[in-house]
Amino acid sequence: MRIVVAVVALAVAGCASSIMPGYIGKPLVFPIFDYGEPITAYDMDDGTRAFVWSMRESGAIPGQAITTWSAAVAAYGDQANASMYATTVMTSPTTHLYDCNYTLIAKRVREDISGPIAWQVVNYHSPRMKCE
């Protein structure tokens, strides 16, 4: 099987746990039409095959500056004294980067042909929580 790195946009379209069950009972060509070829496949002991797509997630939270201030006024007779104080707290920006794997389990239903049309999706493996 030719291995091609495919970026799966499951997270953009919705939660993987709501998308992946929709492929159960369908030929493997349907997730390939939607997300490209899987990056790899593994034969399982029960005769099924696990097809894996991978997606790299990244994001950033910008830094920010928060300024608070206070004022004080003191009066002494006919004179007044005013003071103002300001404090600024700055936070650094943060980034995250991680890989998410999405796995569909398929069984071969046609021996007379080859390729993804010969495989039918029978199950899926839920991705880790932050990949939902």
Length of the chain, in residues: 132
Distance CA 65, CA 11 (A): 31
Instruction: Let me know how many helices (H) and strands (E) the chain has, helices first.
Output: 3, 6
Q: What per-residue confidence (pLDDT) applies to 131?
A: 76
pLDDT in tens, 95-119: 888 888 899 999 999 999 989 999 9
Distance CA 66, CA 19 (A): 41
Does residue 50 surpass a pLDDT of 60? yes
Contact 82, 67 (CB under 8 A): no
User: Whole-model pTM?
Assistant: 0.62
Q: What per-residue confidence (pLDDT) applies to 14?
A: 54
Q: What per-residue confidence (pLDDT) applies to 82?
A: 82
Q: What per-residue confidence (pLDDT) applies to 110?
A: 93
Q: How far is CA 2 from CA 32, 58, 99, 126, in A?
A: 13, 27, 21, 24
The confidence band for 130, taking pLDDT boundaries of 50, 70 and 90, is confident
